[in-house]
Each structure stands twice: as C-alpha cells, then as structure tokens.
A = this chain, B = another copy of it.
Amino acid sequence: MITMEEAEIRSNIIKAMGHPVRLMTIEFLKEGTRSFSEIFSLFTLDKSTVSKHLLVLKEAGIITSQKTGSDMIYRLEVPCVTDFFGCVTAVIENNVRRQQVCLCKR
C-alpha cells in the first residue's frame, strides 16, 4: 500500500491535470512544442487565466517553458501522462454502457 504522504504528492500531479483547459493544453502539447499565443488561441479566456493554468502544469512538473525571442515556448515534459487518457475513455465508455452518463459531475 501507498502512504498518505505519497498519496498527497501523487494527487498534486493528478489534480494539475484535472481541469479542462489544462487537459486540452496537454493534448495540444502532445503534438509538439507550442508558443503561448498558440495555446492561448485555443480558448476564449483572458491571457492571465491561461498563463496561470500553464503555471499550474509547470509547478506540477508536467510541462516546461523556455523564452525564445519574444515568444514563450511550452513543452510537454512527461508525455506518458497522455497514455492515461485511453483509460479515462474506458471509464467514460463503461459509464455510458451502464447508463450513468450524467453521473460524472466533478
């Protein structure tokens, strides 16, 4: 079994992925490095909001950033995180199968 302390560290990383904007960003960066403005243009959000989401991913160690010219370039540091999405899809399909589509409320 895992200790409570361990669980806390792990959940911090998972929590960082638990937001639609951050999830989409990860998916986007899976295709390669992207600039801030490219990521920003995916959403209809204030630039400060996007910047803060990227900071959350950075602090979790999931992405890194690097200033290049006038652009800030973001990179997916640990691509294996996207492997997980297949399993998330399996959960969703299982929910649909069990007609519990609308139960995922958080």
Contact = CB atoms under 8 A, between A and B. Distances in A.
A14 B14 contact: yes
A97 to B, nearest CB: 10
A47 interface: no
Interface of A: 1-2, 4, 7-24, 27-28, 43, 56, 58-62, 77-78, 80-81, 83-92, 94-95, 98, 100, 103-106
A12 B59 CA distance: 21
A11 B20 CA distance: 6
Contact of A9 (B11, B16, B28, B92): B92
Contact of A17 (B1, B14, B78, B90): B14
Contact of A91 (B1, B21, B78, B106): B78
